[in-house]
Amino acid sequence: MPLQEKQLDPALLDAVDVFGGLDPSGKDEALAAAHWRKLETGERAFEQDQEADAFYVLSAGRLKVTQVTPEGQEIIIRYIGPKEMFGCVAVCGGLTYPGTATAVTDSWALGWTRATIGALAQTYPGIALNAMRTMGGRLQDTQSRLREMQTERVERRIAHGIARLVAQAGRRVEGGILIDFPVSRQDIAELTGTTLHTVSRTLSAWQERGVVELGRQKLTVRDPHALVVIAEDLPLKE
Amino acid sequence: MPLQEKQLDPALLDAVDVFGGLDPSGKDEALAAAHWRKLETGERAFEQDQEADAFYVLSAGRLKVTQVTPEGQEIIIRYIGPKEMFGCVAVCGGLTYPGTATAVTDSWALGWTRATIGALAQTYPGIALNAMRTMGGRLQDTQSRLREMQTERVERRIAHGIARLVAQAGRRVEGGILIDFPVSRQDIAELTGTTLHTVSRTLSAWQERGVVELGRQKLTVRDPHALVVIAEDLPLKE
DNA sequence: CGTACTCTTGATTCACCTCAATCTGCGTGG
DNA sequence: CCACGCAGATTGAGGTGAATCAAGAGTACG
């Protein structure tokens, strides 16, 4: 596999937000200090409550970050795509990971130990600023979801959740936009705060109306506009 | 008023997280660059969607940060107490404030323009690291609320919400812990994603059981342990 | 070819919202 | 100082959205 090649490619960090604005020597230094990690589908990068010893940037693939309640219920905090960082707690004072990161497709990640990334952030202050920007974005995103949870009915929340997935991992295919990784009804339920039953019913109704096309762990949005109409609760005619 | 005196007091930033670890000269510089702002009860430090031109640290008083949905429903994102920062977007790339900050008691805040705080963060990298730590904490806190919203029933959510208020602004009084600023039933509803009716019913039942004591915009927790039992859904006898 | 996982669909229940009426404390103005 | 008005709070009745309970069908994989 091109693992070795990848390791030597300094362009690898070019489009990564955290290292944005870093001079080439800094990127080389960061790459040299990093270690590779391959994650098979279903494998976990780290688990909830485990000591936060490393910080990662996903290179390829897709992860989901989840939390489980003491009662055993699971919720999805967010999906991580290529070029996105995860395990940020390791760089912002947290002692343990607040969630579990699981690969939903085969993935590769670049990792830095807590000490390594700390030292890098000391040398290159831009890293901290970039990380803060990303965290700010995630905070706003999470607050939006909280607002949706508090004010919207299930159907709108599902529409918003799927719109978010489309924005993050949508791939144009003939006749629509496909979510580019396996998502089950259960996943969508854990993302929107409902049950797989309600998700199934809602999506079936949408399929009936031609808004989406369903498959096993597969979802294609045929009519993105209709999805927005549902998400924003717009009247059908205006 | 001691506004002038305050302005000269370099100890003012001592316990403020964002400026933690800053050398005295840095604190002087930060203070010199700051401007004071007094906020009467009900007055707003900034409003949602307004240009994010300043970053603040609350010196005294209490604010609530809220968001309104397009439909006009309001939710409370968080309460801000003394020594806490707010308007963080101004330092993390956001163009507009995502919420509105309203004083719930007469308050004083220290403000820095976006340019000023940016320059300070460049000179003293510790500021960015501290800010990131705080944002990390808030992100986790918001994720916890999201998890509660998705998995818990109203009564538990209210218990968690009030527990959070107690931790943040509880003041020991004879026979309990008082929330140290005016909170209406509506506020608690907007904080926990329910209606003021349900909050009123729930709190009345708790008062009946001696868990809390109620007043107009006033709440005293008489039995903190019982509150935890409700929040964690523990059995009464174990 | 069986087994297990994902998904669908129907029936039933209930927690909470909505609608509605009334009450109460508190500031205000006559 | 007391009557008034109003925002905040309480309480009841009724409706319903979505969870829960339950059964079965479709699909992938070893």
* B195-212 exposure pattern, b = at least 16 Cβ within 10 A, e = fewer: eeebbeebbeebeeeebb
Mean pLDDT of B17-28: 87
A154-169 helix and A125-151 helix, angle to the nearest 10 degrees: 150
Chain B contact present for A76, CB below 8 A: no
Chain A contact present for B162, CB below 8 A: no
Q: What is the pLDDT of residue B236?
A: 54
* Residues A110, A56 contacting (CB under 8 angstroms): yes
Q: What is the pLDDT of residue A9?
A: 64
Mean pLDDT of A95-119: 94
Pairs of residues, one from chain A and one from chain B, whose beta carbons lie less than 8 Å apart: 110
Listed in sequence order, the residues at least 6 apart from A109 whose beta carbon sits closer than 8 Å to its beta carbon are: A36, A37, A39, A45, A56, A57, A58, A59, A61, A86
Residue A92 has pLDDT above 80, yes or no: yes
What is A9-45 written as a DSSP string?
A: -GGGGTT-GGGTT--HHHHHHHHHH-EEEEE-TT-EE
* Residues B90, B52 contacting (CB under 8 angstroms): yes
Residue B235 has pLDDT above 80, yes or no: no
Listed in sequence order, the residues at least 6 apart from B44 whose beta carbon sits closer than 8 Å to its beta carbon are: B100, B101, B102, B103
Question: Please, what are the domains in chain A?
Answer: 3-148 (2.60.120.10), 152-231 (1.10.10.10)
CA-to-CA separations, A234 to A165, A207, B79, B195, B230, in angstroms, rounded: 21, 19, 32, 24, 39
A68 touches strand C (CB under 7 A): no
Q: What is the pLDDT of residue A235?
A: 67
Residue B11 has pLDDT above 80, yes or no: no
One-letter identity of residue B30:
A
CA gap A195, A213 in Å, rounded = 20
Q: What is the pLDDT of residue A238?
A: 40
Residue B72 has pLDDT above 70, yes or no: yes
Residue B193 has pLDDT above 70, yes or no: yes
Report pTM.
Answer: 0.93
Q: Are β-strands A100-113 and A35-39 bridged in parallel, bridged antiparallel, or unpaired?
A: antiparallel
Torsion angles phi and psi, residue A11, rounded to 5: -75, -10
Mean pLDDT of B23-32: 90
Residue A10 has pLDDT above 70, yes or no: no
Task: Answer with the residue of higher pLDDT: B61 or A15.
Answer: B61
Task: Answer with the residue of higher pLDDT: A94 or A56.
Answer: A56
Average pLDDT over all residues of chain A: 91
Percent of chain B with pLDDT over 90: 76
Give me the residues paired with residue A221 across strands: A177, A212
Mean pLDDT of A140-160: 97
Residue of chain A minimizing CA distance to B65 = A143
The pLDDT-based confidence of B43 (bands split at 50, 70, 90) is: very high
Residue of chain A minimizing CA distance to B157 = A150
In this structure, chain A runs to a length of 238
Give chain C positions with protein CB within 7 A.
6-11, 15-20, 25-26
CA gap B150, A8 in Å, rounded = 44
Q: What is the pLDDT of residue B2?
A: 44
* Residues A204, A215 contacting (CB under 8 angstroms): no
Percent of chain A with pLDDT over 90: 76
Q: What are the tens digits of pLDDT across the range A185-208? A: 999 999 999 999 999 999 999 999
Reported as half-sphere exposure (CB side, CA atoms, 13 A), residue B54 has a value of 17
Mean pLDDT of A142-150: 97
Task: Answer with the residue of higher pLDDT: A130 or A149.
Answer: A149
Average pLDDT over all residues of chain B: 91
Q: Which of B132, B137, B150 sits opposite A128 (nearest CB)?
A: B132
Asked whether the beta carbons of residue B98 and residue A135 sit closer than 8 angstroms, the reply is no
The pLDDT-based confidence of A1 (bands split at 50, 70, 90) is: very low
What the block records as the tokens of B127 is 């500021």
Mean pLDDT of B60-74: 94
Neighbours of B103 (CB within 10 A): 23
Q: What are the tens digits of pLDDT across the range B88-141? A: 987 788 899 999 999 999 999 999 999 999 999 888 888 888 898 999 999 999
Chain A contact present for B143, CB below 8 A: yes
Positive or negative CA dihedral for B222, B226, B228, B230?
negative
